[in-house]
Structure 1
Amino acid sequence: MPKKSERTRQRVVEAANRLFYHKGYNQTSFSDVVEAAGVPRGNIYYYFKTKDEILEAAIHYRTERISQMLENWSGSYRTPIQRLHRFLDILTNSADAIMRYGCPMGTLNTELGKDQGELQEQAENLFKVFESWLTDQFAELGYAGRAHELALRLMSQGQGISVMAHVHNDPGFLRREKERLAAWLDQLAEGKDECA
């Protein structure tokens, strides 16, 4: 069982992670994190001296959760096409959050990319975890020479769908576009290499 200090630190990171997604990094103050975590301000300074340090911890937390999720999928789904379809399910499983806040990885990277390049480089790792895993799935599916290209295509399509569904607040669009991507994956699995 984690020590009380580890649990307190984790509570701060989880609260900050939610706030950075819901409000944005730049719109979230240190005081917001203090209030959401329910931890005295002085205690937070024991773990984090700056908001940037909290963001770094939140990115690390997200990265670990994504890595664990992908590892679980690799163990739970027998074939690469099943795993790729599970990846697509993120869109519909997260539809409510996407409608309200957009994609958590995309919005953070876009926000930081405007004028906080060093922080954005850290946030980019969230995409790289998926990118690497998806590349492995496409390679196993038989597209080793183009696996990375296909991984980027799938991720970019998913990001575009998330943005447009968020902008138009249209879960129907999100579902339809997800099904279109699913059909493209099935074509690839059948050896019909057509563009999305």
Structure 2
Amino acid sequence: MTKAERTRQFIIEKSAPLFNIKGYESTSLSDIQEATKLTKGAIYGNFSDKNELAIAAYNFNCSYAIGLINKAVAKAATAREALIAYPNYYAKNWQTVFKTGGCPLMNAAVEADDHLHYLRDSVRNGMKRFMETLQLTIERGQANNEFKAKANSEEYAALIYSIMEGNIMLAKIMNDPKYFQIAARHIESIIERELSV
């Protein structure tokens, strides 16, 4: 990695939490300068504008979040355990989730849907990546005869993702981790009653 690439990565890593906590529109150049201790010129020497940095920060936040979930899921021996590991990660790590501003995919989605259209494609891609991971897990369970072959893996992945995102929002706004446990129970119920053979 060149010095310029290291500087660019440093700016992304330092500004990514700001964007997730304060919002993509509300995070100012001054906030980014304070976090990085770099001048405006140094920041704009690496990014054409705040929007380009915001997209890079979102992609970093998204990849980081998906990476944490994938680590939790990778420890599972079965597809069933892997699907349950997803909500259990949030139930076990809720304090960190709250401290870092909640789910970066959902946070960016709210802004991108309403008015920050330049973020929309990146957010869609992040959500697709997350749902594809769930879909592949379900399909692995179908291949291993854990889950019903006729179950629509794409629909169940979207349902599980929606349950989690909704409960992450509730947990964060209500400042109450019980919503993570509610999501975990409902996802487990879906697995047992609708997916399992």
Match of 2:171 in 1: 165
Structure 2 distance, partners of 1:171, 1:88, is 11
Answer yes or no: is the 8 Å Cα contact 1:63–1:125 preserved in 2: no
Taking structure 1 as the reference length, the TM-score comes to 0.83
1:157-188 Cα shifts (integer Å, max 9, x gaps) = 01111122222211123324323323432444
Answer yes or no: is the 8 Å Cα contact 1:62–1:126 preserved in 2: no
Unaligned runs of 5+ in 2: 143-147
Q: Does 1:102 align with 2:108?
A: no
Answer yes or no: is the 8 Å Cα contact 2:87–2:180 preserved in 1: no
Unaligned runs of 5+ in 1: 192-196
After TM superposition, give the deviation of residue 144 of structure 1 in Å. Answer: 5.2
Answer yes or no: is the 8 Å Cα contact 2:61–2:104 preserved in 1: no
Match of 2:145 in 1: none
The answer to which of 157-166 and 65-74 deviates more is: 65-74
Match of 1:122 in 2: 122
Map 1:49-128 to 2 at 5 A: 49-65=48-64, 68-69=67-68, 72=71, 76-99=75-98, 101-128=101-128
Structure 1 distance, partners of 2:4, 2:78, is 41
Taking structure 2 as the reference length, the TM-score comes to 0.83
Structure 2 distance, partners of 1:38, 1:88, is 37
Q: Indicate which of 150, 160, 168 corresponds to 1:154.
A: 160
After TM superposition, give the deviation of residue 22 of structure 1 in Å. Answer: 0.7
Structure 1 counterpart of 2:33, one-letter code:
V
State the Cα RMSD in Å.
2.4
The answer to which of 116-125 and 60-69 deviates more is: 60-69
Answer yes or no: is the 8 Å Cα contact 2:80–2:191 preserved in 1: yes
